[in-house]
Structure 1
Amino acid sequence: MNSVVIAVLLMLALSLARVNVVISLLASAVVGGLLGGLDLAATLAAFNGGLGGGAGVALSYALLGAFAMAIASSGLPHALADGLARAVQRGGGGRSVKWAIFGALLLLAISSQNLLPIHIAFIPLLVPPLLFTLGQLRVDRRLLACIITFGLITPYMFLPVGFGEIFLKQILLGSIAKAGLDANDVDVMHAMAIPALGMALGLAIACFSYRKPRDYNLARLARAEHEDARYTPRTLLVASIAVVVTFITQLWADSMLLGALAGFTVCVAGGALRWRDADGVFMEGMKMMAGIGLIMIAASGFAEVLKATGDVARLVAASVDVIGDSKGLAVFLMLLVGLVVTLGIGSSFSTVPILATLYVPLSLQLGLSPTAIVCLIGTAGALGDAGSPVSDSTLGPTAGLNVDGQHDHMWDTVVPTFLHYNLPLLAAGWVAVMAL
């Protein structure tokens, strides 16, 4: 069997068996490298060579965690939770508040990709303060993970604005052009409309799947969220300014790292966080996000090993051998290969250039139209972003939902998003390519 398939499946199996994701990535990279024809030294060299690719994002996550902890210490989350609790009491029930929070999270996630392209920076800042009220309403956090993940993925694969402009125009159309097909005249929104509807269907199914109440330990959440933190109008004002400064700095400098650092500085300088507590809060916040940072670093090394084996191309060639004259089977297998590759690499943006080189000649041979080719490669790249243990589209939601240790990354984020998004997207992508 192809080494890429074995490595990805092994990584998923170990992670689902609750082996630490970093260990799963390292073990799977070694197995994949050896099966792909690399010796141990070459495998480790490729893994080490790829580590730097995730270091910048990992450091940004760590600083963002420190800033999130500073915000928690300021009392702003506590004040927000108190306000939501009063809203629930005034309304005589939490149904309207619950759906208002769902809608707000969805809009925040969507706007983080297009309107205010801050990506996942909003999650550890704005999601934890909502958890206490949602816990009182007995909301299943798996639904929250699905809502956020939908908002992180669907906009960039459908709307050519913000990160969508980068994915659809610069990466997708650019990679297809480099592979020998000029598709600049293709309407990308038309090409990706049906796959986007598949994602929307997945979200609707998730709202049904996780509609039943689920109980969480609220006392444990209160301790994790600094519910005992005292706040004053001044600390709340400074913390609010710090959040705004963080987002503005990130947009201006295009750097999550500088944004988090600016926000933390405002918290300390403005008195929302006492100077003598700053170092302890900073280290506590960095430790909170350290695990996610290490996963991202290890994922970059794992992806580099998969590329070094050259077995992605061999996987496509093996798929071609079983296609025969069936266009439908060819499209399905190409989408399936995209799912496997993205599950391992964890980034649609990195998968598309790899697949475009291989898929464009094959698609032209099959007689697919330029619009269908754009849809095929775009969908194949997006498949696996949801449901990958090493994707920031799953790591980000876990970072916000697991502040109290009651939300498992694999079983509460990865598996739910995989089932509710990849299966509808695979079906919708196949229908779209065959129809276009």
Structure 2
Amino acid sequence: MSLKSCDSPDISNLSFAVKGSFLNPLSPYKSQYIEKGVMIVEDGRISSLGPNADPPLPDELEIMDFGNRIIMPGFIDTHIHIPQVNQRARFGHSLLDWLERNIYRAEAEFSDPEKAETLSSAFFKEMIRNGTTSCMAFSSVSGPATDIAFQKARETGVRAIIGKVMMDRSDAGSAPETLSQSIEQSVALAQKWNMAENGRLRYAFTPRFAPTCSRELMLAAGSAARELGCMIQSHLSENEEEVRVVLQLFPECRSYTEVYAKYGCLDKNTVMAHCIHMSDRELEIFKDSGASVSHCPSSNLYLKSGSMSLKRMQQHNIPMGLGSDVGAGPSFSICDVMKSMNFCQPFPISPQQSLYLATLGGAEILGIGEITGNFLPGKWADFIVMDLDRLQPGFTVDSIEDLIAFLIYLGHGGMVDQVFVEGRKIKG
């Protein structure tokens, strides 16, 4: 038996055993904690997880022993913007003002290949540093820059769904595109990158939001996504001023949600960020479509956009995950997002539900719940190793609720020791 210390875990193949204390989300209501456990990985996939002595380990199996460190599935960030990595903490009076002041300019600059490479590298490095193994991300309107972002995702080894921003209205930001340019570049990127790297990289058609998109663009984006088997991502009802603008631009629709439904961008493969200012009728339309919500409480707090009602989403059985929404969100840490969510809601959220939304719940809405998000056998070995002594020396686990609450309220990137995707250690 070959034993590797936790400080030198580079292994010679993708079949090995991991020892440590395991935190494993199973549902919104239940998580598993194994204080002294062992997980066996075969060809990058999880074979089993159990107590340290069960099952016996084959003599030839390499072992990584992390002692009392916590091992859990990597975080899943369901809404984030690659070009905005350096736009965090930029002032704006409201969402639309913030976009005009900071974001349209920054995303136009992202079209420069050198800048796209630098910012994409910084983005994935920060993502990994904070223990996020999977993300759904917006790029910019530039097709070549989006291609560079995909290349960096491939190089770093993260699991990512990325889309080129689509925005063809003549009054949309600083660098709108034509309808034909938007569709042609998006389709070419989808054909190149969707399901690349054995499915680790996927494509999402990405109309920015209704105020920047023509009816024709949304119809074409939805149609192309369905034809090519891709996801759709956009923004919905983030800000009350934004909602008013949408209703003025689309008078044939009674609500913001109906715009996306009417023009082909709302189905079971759609993830909409925010969804704060929605009527009961909109929630019913949304539920019937099969679409999912990325809840982004940190950015909603920052831009004073309002607070999404978690209870209303639950009442309508709408699937959800969590998004950092960097750059309006100031932190890549999904622990910070969980904390913001708990602060925003007027009722207690169980630690298990928070952990589920940050991991398995996020994986499920991104269509990857069958391959990642927890430690069920057959899933890819996407996991992070955390040293809680970096947060509070001598911390002891008295209950699983206390352990998860500790991560929610005190956790940050500094606790993340190592990150693995598909059994490979990855670095930014």
| Pair in the same fold by TM > 0.5 | no
Higher helix share: 1
TM-score by length of 1: 0.29
**Structure with the larger RCO, 1 or 2 (CA within 8 Å, 6+ apart):** 1
Higher strand share: 2
Q: Which has the larger radius of gyration?
A: 1
